[in-house]
Amino acid sequence: MESRMKINAHPLDADGNPRNGPFIEYFKDGTVACEGQFSEGQKTGEWKYYLKNGRLKAIGRYQADQMTGDWL
């Protein structure tokens, strides 16, 4: 999924602490590339990935940093 998008959803923030809370990554032009939540540095809940034109590319859920359920 992320082979064309350069997503920096690294589990640690700029200070080296585990990410917590909402996360949004942007393309260079300022449009949203992905959005989701982190809990103690792990992706959790619903995540959305977008194309550069703003259209939704993929949506699904993470649990303990693992993709779970059906992804569209």
Domain assignment present for 58: yes
Domain assignment present for 50: yes
- In this prediction, what percent of the chain has a pLDDT beyond 70? 89
Give the pLDDT confidence of 14-43 residue by residue, as tens digits: 888 999 999 999 999 999 999 999 999 999
Determine the average pLDDT of the residues in 42-48.
Answer: 96
Planar angle of CA 2, 49, 26, nearest 5 degrees = 90
Planar angle of CA 57, 59, 61, nearest 5 degrees = 150
Domain assignment present for 27: yes
Domain assignment present for 55: yes
Domain assignment present for 7: no
**Residue span of the structural domain in which 55 resides:** 21-68
- Measured from the Cβ of residue 43, the count of other Cβ atoms closer than 10 Å reads 21
Counted domains in the chain: 1
